Amino acid sequence: MPSMDKLKASLATSVIKRENEFSATSTLLKLIKDLTTEFDVANMCLTELVKVEKTFREADELVVQLNSQLEEPGQIGSPSKFEAFFEICLHVRAAHSRLTASTSVRAPSLSSAELPIPRVDLPCFQGKVEEWPGFIALFDALVHQNNSLAPVQKFHLLASAISGEAASVISGFQLNSVNYPLAYQALHSRYQNPRRLANLYVNQILDSRPASVSSLPQLKKFVTTHQNAIHAIKALPISDLADFLLFSLALRNLHIPSRHLFEGQLSSDDFPTLAQLLEFTNRQLRVLESTSVTSSIAPKGSLRPQSPAGSASVSPSSVPSSSGVHPRRPAYAGACPSSSSACVFCSANHSVRQCREFKAMNVNQRRAFVTERRLCRNCMSSFHATVSSGCT
């Protein structure tokens, strides 16, 4: 780890670089305000402004990082310097736009093919949702809101700055002026999703591993993860942050198919509330309670009546003995008879325990059938009606 002196030296160097870029931007503003018809000079100022912005951003980010490591935030520099810098940048672009509008009346018009494509340094966006806000903010400032660029030039710069999944989103659009706003909107529709960002940051916090106070790498990762995620969540347009955090915790306790069902009934990409989630779960609870009560009541005629063949079949109790006396049903002697007879439910050649139609009924229907036919509740035998400890 760098020593404290080296960190302070790097901090001082970054602050000086940031101040120099701030002064350069002020000089560009003074120069472009005095121009009247020097369109080439104005374009030169705008090109130089892009370079200055990049260097200023890098220096400012380094200042913030070093201040954090030194645990002396606000030691050098202040947030107002950052805001003032970008205010000057906006004035430079506004002056360039006014000059462009005034000279475009007298300048000969050029076709899109004849317009030179300026070099703009943009980060490459590959489709990671967490990188979208920074990318689109920079693209809007340098390209989309730049009135000196033709739509086809903006489309070329947009296509050059994306790759991977993001590039596939606009791959179906032919590169021309008409399709630029369509491609731009397609990317917005795909990645401009504050709810998705919020879920990402909340999951980063909840899924982070416990850190030990005696481990420097673990503490660094803990601080970086939580600080970045918390700052990013606070920057999102969430009306009730506490409610959204409680909603996120509760949603994680539903299994994934139930989450999909909840998300599918939402009408927009707005931030859902805890009340909406509880209303959804209570509604599902009422549905399950209603269906369980309905299924527990056997419909009329659900118990299959004994088939004519079954009615005509001769049971041991109905056959008279040689003495003319009907024998009683034999008492249970420790084991059910091994010989299998016709199924008492469907009369097929299998036991009732192997009957698919009998198994297809719900528990209450099967219990009612066993009670009605006075079958053994353990082995389904018709030779004894009470459960015996010897049934297998």
Q: For 366-382, what is each residue's pLDDT tens digit?
A: 888 888 778 887 777 76
CA distance linking residue 258 with residue 251, whole number of Å: 9
Which string of DSSP letters, residue by residue, matches 157-176? HHHHTB-HHHHHHTTTS-SS
Mind listing the pLDDT tens digit for each residue in 287-305? 888 887 665 555 555 555 4
> Is 159 part of any domain?
yes
Q: So what's the pLDDT on residue 294?
A: 61
CA distance linking residue 96 with residue 38, whole number of Å: 10
Give the Cβ contact number of residue 281 at 10 Å: 15
pLDDT at residue 182 tops 90:
yes
Clarify whether residues 232 and 249 are in a common domain.
Answer: no
Six-digit token pair at 67? 């201040």
Clarify whether residues 127 and 211 are in a common domain.
Answer: no
Structural domain that includes position 39:
4-107+116-194
> Is 325 part of any domain?
no
pLDDT at residue 387 tops 60:
no
Residue 298 — left, alpha, or beta (φ > 0 → left; ψ -120 to 50 → alpha)? beta
CA distance linking residue 289 with residue 285, whole number of Å: 6
Chain centre to alpha carbon of residue 188: 16
> Is 54 part of any domain?
yes
DSSP reduced 3-state for 125: strand
pLDDT at residue 75 tops 60:
no
Six-digit token pair at 51? 């370079």
Give the Cβ contact number of residue 186 at 10 Å: 15
> Is 162 part of any domain?
yes
If one compares 307 and 170, the residue with the highest pLDDT of the two is 170
Q: So what's the pLDDT on residue 289?
A: 85
The pLDDT confidence band at residue 74, using thresholds 50, 70 and 90, is very low
> Is 381 part of any domain?
yes
Residue 243 — left, alpha, or beta (φ > 0 → left; ψ -120 to 50 → alpha)? alpha
Domain stops at, among 194, 210, 228: 194
Clarify whether residues 199 and 212 are in a common domain.
Answer: yes
DSSP reduced 3-state for 77: coil
Q: What are phi and psi of 125, to 5 degrees?
A: -100, 120
The DSSP secondary-structure symbol of 208 reads S
Q: Is 153 in contact with 117 (CB distance < 8 Å)?
A: yes
CA distance linking residue 79 with residue 74, whole number of Å: 9
Which string of DSSP letters, residue by residue, matches 2-36? --HHHHHHHHHHHHHHHHHHHHHHHHHHHHHHT-S
Clarify whether residues 50 and 149 are in a common domain.
Answer: yes
> Is 144 part of any domain?
yes
Average pLDDT over residues 53-59: 81
Query: What amino acid occupies position 326?
Result: H
The pLDDT confidence band at residue 383, using thresholds 50, 70 and 90, is low
Q: So what's the pLDDT on residue 22?
A: 81
Query: What amino acid occupies position 212?
Result: S
Cβ-proximal residues to 45 (8 Å cutoff; 6+ apart), any chain: 28, 31, 32, 92, 96
Q: How many residues does the chain have?
A: 392
Give the sign of the dihedral formed by CA 243, CA 244, CA 247, CA 248.
negative
Clarify whether residues 250 and 146 are in a common domain.
Answer: no
Clarify whether residues 18 and 50 are in a common domain.
Answer: yes
Clarify whether residues 131 and 38 are in a common domain.
Answer: yes
Q: Is 142 in contact with 167 (CB distance < 8 Å)?
A: no
Clarify whether residues 263 and 130 are in a common domain.
Answer: no
Six-digit token pair at 166? 């993001």
If one compares 71 and 75, the residue with the highest pLDDT of the two is 71
Report the domain count for the chain. Answer: 4
